[in-house]
Structure 1
Amino acid sequence: MDSPFSDRSGISRGRDASPSHYLLKIKSFSMLSEASILDYTSDKFESGGYQWKLSLYPNVDKFRDGRDHISIYLALADMSSLPSGWEINVVFNFFILNQLQNKYFIIQEWRERRFHAMKTEWGITRFIDLETFCNPLNGFLIEDTCVFGAEVFVVKSTFKGESLSMIKQPATCYYSWKLNNFSFLADQRYNSESFGDYNWNIIFYPKGNGEFRGSNISIYLTHARFYALPYKFFVKFILHVKDQINGEDLSYQTENLFSPSQPDWGYATFMSLAKLKDPKMGYLVDDSLIIEAEVTLLGLIKPS
């Protein structure tokens, strides 16, 4: 099933990985939306050395023209220890779980905002329209249960000495990796050669990774020498498995922050082994598989 947002700009393909920093699961959503409270505020969670919380308006934020939509906001939860004149620049994403696909979707990707004493909350007033959200065929509200999430990255803070440099005209590097004798590959991790100015690698598990071993192939992007670098990468990338017969490649695209603590991003369930081995699909020809990557560096986060 495709996402109901698949034809709108700013909506990413669903991903398997859950949000890095916070999940908010709501049971009996209809009771919450019918209650007298206007919004629900989550517990505190930590990211980037600061305490945050989510505020969810389940039934229209009337004060900010959120009619017919669910509204969601990120707020700084604890400011008591911050010095006068503080500022925190943050890149954050909100997620919603499609329970039918078991994938997390991002709406209006990667919002960069400046938090300060006069503005301690940012978010999306029209996060998702209620008609789309409540339709069980879309997978967001199943058995009156839904799941929201957040990722919060502090990208510039005078107190942490970190700065984000976005690249105005980012270049894309391309790489193609042909793996021969697929049926003879061992049940282990394989790394491609390094490619691009920043030494990227493709990681490939021919029989799957972790809990998906034996049923899927798993493909990730990583950095060849990440632990030797003092900075992080904000990257857009696409991974393809080539359809060598029909020209209909299987591709996944996402944007992620690569760091020493999270050097790999990708897909544990990139493709089922049954689909890969189907000769009509064209992914495995003469026992050879072709994996391609397109990597665009959008920004660098360096210590200052």
Structure 2
Amino acid sequence: MPGSTWKGRNYNFDIADPSKPVLTFRSRKPSHFIFEIDSYDKLESALTAANLDVFETPQFAAGGVEWALRIYPNGNKARGGDQHVSLYLTRKKDPVNRPSEVTVTIKFFIQDQLSGEYLVIEDLGERSFDVRDAEWGIPKAIKTDDFKLPSNGFLVNHKCTFGAEVYITSGEPKYSQISVVKNIPKRIYDVTFDLTPPRSEPLESETFTTRFDGEDYTWKLVLYRDGYEEGSSTHHSLYMKLLDKNKLSGGKSMLVNFNLRILNNVKGDYEHGRNAVLDWYNYNKDTAGYPTFMPSGYLFSRRYKYVEDNNASVQVTFNSVFLSHLL
């Protein structure tokens, strides 16, 4: 397949033309605005009688800004939309505050009533709206004949549904920087579970402490004997929890690559969970691990003797650690 050229550089993948809308289908409803019309033919007749070529919907809010959808049933002929349905977005003036300029990306929607899905008509470019910008949209959103053909499902028994999504893209981005923690301790941490207490969820281990980049972090393991998340009722689940998550406040995060292995007292070796976990820890997420650590029943099996004298021993190995913070 031939590639694409952009700004003098050649690529072996295709770059979509940002001057043309992209058409796709999806089942999820539009996030910001849905407008149902139960008598499209009467709406067209009313526009004709009033010598108008465009209909404006009630206002809706997106990104803290008020908008309205404009529908040209027979096309915005001034913009080359003849024989098409034209869809436009207009920003409404704030009667109290002077609107500042905003840059947005826009998606228009038309529901296929036969499948329940939505035709998504997406503009690949970004558009700026200020107090002077009346509207922006797609003159050739869909051919009028294609829209009105009942077998296509867009206009059925005079009913149709339009929608819109508007995402604000202007504003200052948040920058984050990630760096690897050097000289990760090669120590393997042996952590013990006391399985004497009555069966309860979850069961917590003793704590242990690591030191990364001059900072101490305290952890413990959490065992769900009846499983958790996708391991519920089918597996024993094992996780590692960070106790002092307050050290990861202010936009700080930690990406941890680790292994958890349990001692098989028959083999005298640690096993299960051999695939390493790579997951984030932050102020809002303090736990990561293995929801399907081992199949249900294995933990107390006499064949493997993972539990001996009501204790189970787990090895914790840190392979690599990355720290991220907002700039």
TM-score normalised by length of structure 2: 0.45
The structure with higher relative contact order (CA 8 Å, sep 6+) is 1
Q: Which has the larger radius of gyration?
A: 2
TM-score normalised by length of structure 1: 0.48
